Amino acid sequence: MIRPLSALFGLFSRDLGIDLGTANTLVYVRGKGIVISEPSVVAVDKKTRRALAVGVEAKAMVGKTPETIVAVRPLKDGVIADFDTVEMMLHYFIRKVHVQRFMAPHPRVVIGIPSGVTEVEKRAAKDAALSAGAREAYTIEEPMAAAIGAGLPINEAVGSMIVDIGGGTTEVAIISLGGIVVNYSIRVAGDEIDDAIIQFARRDHNLVIGERTAENAKIAAGSAYPLEEERRVTLRGRDLLTGLPKAVEVSSVEIRDAISGPVNTIIDLIKTCVEETPPELIADIMERGIVLAGGGALLMGLDKRLQAELRMPVYRADDPLTCVARGTGRVAEALHLYQRALAGGQELRRPSR
Ligand SMILES: Nc1ncnc2c1ncn2[C@@H]1O[C@H](COP(=O)(O)OP(=O)(O)OP(=O)(O)O)[C@@H](O)[C@H]1O
C-alpha cells in the first residue's frame, strides 16, 4: 500500500538531488553519490489505482501488461503529466533510499526540471518534495544542473555550452557568470528517435515492434555518423499483415537513415543556439568546445557529426546519464555557491506549523 510521502522523507538525513527525468529518475545523496537510478515508470492497477511496481520492475512490464494494469510514464515529454503517479514514484524511490539507511531530519531537496516548464509544473515538482517532508525544495533548470554535473566553470566570466539530450527533451544552453545566457529546448530527444525506429520497422518491413525493442536497437546500432564498422541488429515483433511473430535483421546504415529526422532536428537546434550566441561568448565556446550530456549523448557518432558540421570541438561529458543528478547533488551540498543558477528555478519553503 502506498503511504503518505511525509511519513518517509522526514527520515532522511542528507540533502538530496533528484533528476526527475522522462526516461530515468536518479537520486543523489549528499556524501554518497548516486544511490538510485531507475526508469521513470509506474505499473498501476486501473481498478484500484494502486501502484503495483515501480522503476526497473515496472519497465519490464511495458507492453506486456494485462488490460487491467497500465504501465505509466508519468513524466511525458519532460513535464509532470500525472502528478499522483509522480508522487507514487517518488515514494518508492525515497523508501529505497531509506532502506539504504541514510537517516536524518528534513532534508533540502534540489530537483532538476526541464527549462521550458511552466511555473505550475515547477510548483508541482516542489510540492511533491515538500509533501514528502522536505525542509526546503528548490528546482534548477536541467541544462544548468547538467553543466554543473559535467564540471563546467559556470560561475566564471567565460561562455560554456551544454547540450542535454534526454528521453523527452533536448536542451541547449550557453552559460556564463552563473546564469543561462541563451537557452533552447525542444520536445525531441531519445523517445522520438525510438519512435522513428518503430515507424521504420512498420513502413519498410511490415513489422510491428514495441518501444523497448526500438530503444535496444537504437543503443546497439543507432548512430548519427558513419561507423568504422557498420553493425547489424535483429528486430523482433509481429508481422503487420499476418499477425504472426517475425524477426528482421537490419543494418546500422538503415537505422541511421531511419532516425535522421529527429537527429537532424536536434542538430539544427544546436546550430541555432550557436548562431544566437553573442560573439564574445562564441569565441570562448570555439576554444573550449561544446559538451554533450544526457543519455542521448551516447548515440554513436553524434559528437563526430556535430564536430564536422559546426567545426568546433565537441566532447561527451563523463557518464552523461548522471550529469543532471550529480549537478543537483552538488547544488544541494553548497546552495550558497549557486544562487544565480537557482534563480532560474525557484525555492519553496515548508509553511511553518
Ligand atoms: N547508448 C545509448 N545510445 C543512445 N541513446 C541512449 C543510450 N543510452 C541511453 N540512451 C537514451 O537516453 C535517453 C535517456 O536519457 P536521460 O536519462 O538523460 O533522460 P531523462 O533525464 O530521463 O529525460 P529528460 O531529460 O527528457 O527528462 C533515452 O531515450 C535512452 O534511450
Q: How far apart are CA 10 and CA 8, in angstroms?
A: 5
Is 295 labeled as ligand-binding? Answer: yes
Can you read off the three cell numbers belonging to residue 193? Answer: 528517435
Q: In this predicted structure, what is the pLDDT of residue 105?
A: 55
Task: Tell me, using a 6 A CB cutoff, whether residue 21 lines ligand 1.
Answer: yes
Least confident range from 16-25, 62-71, 235-244: namely 62-71
What stretch(es) of the chain map to CATH 3.30.420.40? Answer: 6-142+323-349, 146-188+261-322
Q: pLDDT at residue 296 above 50?
A: yes
CATH number of the 146-188+261-322 domain? 3.30.420.40
For ligand 1, atom 19, name the residue with the nearest CA.
Answer: 166
Residues 6 or more apart whose Cβ sits within 8 Å of residue 147: 154, 160, 162, 173, 175, 291, 293, 327
Q: How much is the pLDDT for 98?
A: 63
- Residue 166 CA to ligand 1 center (angstroms) comes to 4
Query: Which pLDDT belongs to residue 77?
Result: 67
**In the predicted model, what is the mean pLDDT of the chain?**
87
Which protein residue's CA is at the shortest distance from atom 5 of ligand 1? 296
Q: What is the pLDDT of residue 344?
A: 64
Distance 150 CA to ligand 1 centre (A): 16
Atom number in ligand 1 closest to CA 321: 18
Higher pLDDT, 160 or 3: 160
pLDDT score of 352: 43
Q: Which CATH architecture has domain 190-259?
A: Alpha-Beta Complex (3.90)
At residue 215, the pLDDT reads: 97
Distance CA 295, CA 189 (A): 9
81 lines ligand 1 (CB under 6 A): no
Q: Is the CB of 168 under 6 A from ligand 1?
A: yes
Q: Is 296 annotated as a binding residue?
A: yes
Instruction: Give the pLDDT score at 285.
Output: 95
| Ligand 1 geometric centre to CA of 229 (Å) | 24
Tell me whether residue 298 is annotated as binding: yes
pLDDT, one tens digit per residue, over 171-193 is 999 999 999 999 998 989 999 99
Q: State the complex-level ipTM.
A: 0.98
Instruction: State in Å: Cα 84 to ligand 1 middle.
Output: 24
Query: Mutual orientation of helices 323-333 and 142-149 as an angle, nearest 10°?
Result: 90
The rounded distance, in Å, linking the Cα atoms of 7 and 303 is 45
Residues of each domain in the chain carrying CATH 3.90.640.10: 190-259
Rounded CA-CA distance 135/127 in Å is 11
> What's 6-142+323-349's CATH class?
alpha beta
What does the pLDDT look like over 95-112, one tens digit per residue? 677 666 553 556 788 999
Give per-residue pLDDT as tens, 194-228. 999 999 999 999 999 999 999 999 999 999 999 99
Report the atom number in ligand 1 closest to the C-alpha of 171: 25
Does residue 7 register a pLDDT over 60? no
114 CB-near residues (< 8 Å, 6+ apart)? 78, 79, 141, 142, 166, 168, 169, 171, 185
Q: In three state form, how does the secondary structure of the chain look? A: CCCCCHHHHCCECCCEEEEECCCEEEEEECCCEEEEEEECCEEEECCCCCEEEECHHHHHHCCCCCCCEEEECCEECCEECCHHHHHHHHHHHHHHHHHCCCECCCCEEEEEECCCCCHHHHHHHHHHHHHCCCCEEEEEEHHHHHHHHCCCCCCCCCCEEEEEECCCCEEEEEEECCEEEEEEEECCCHHHHHHHHHHHHHHHHCEECCHHHHHHHHHHHCECCCCCCCCEEEEEEEECCCCCEEEEEEEHHHHHHHCHHHHHHHHHHHHHHHHHCCHHHHHHHHHHCEEEECHHHHCECHHHHHHHHHCCCEEECCCHHHHHHHHHHHHHHCHHHHHHHHHCCEEEECCCC
pTM for the whole structure: 0.86
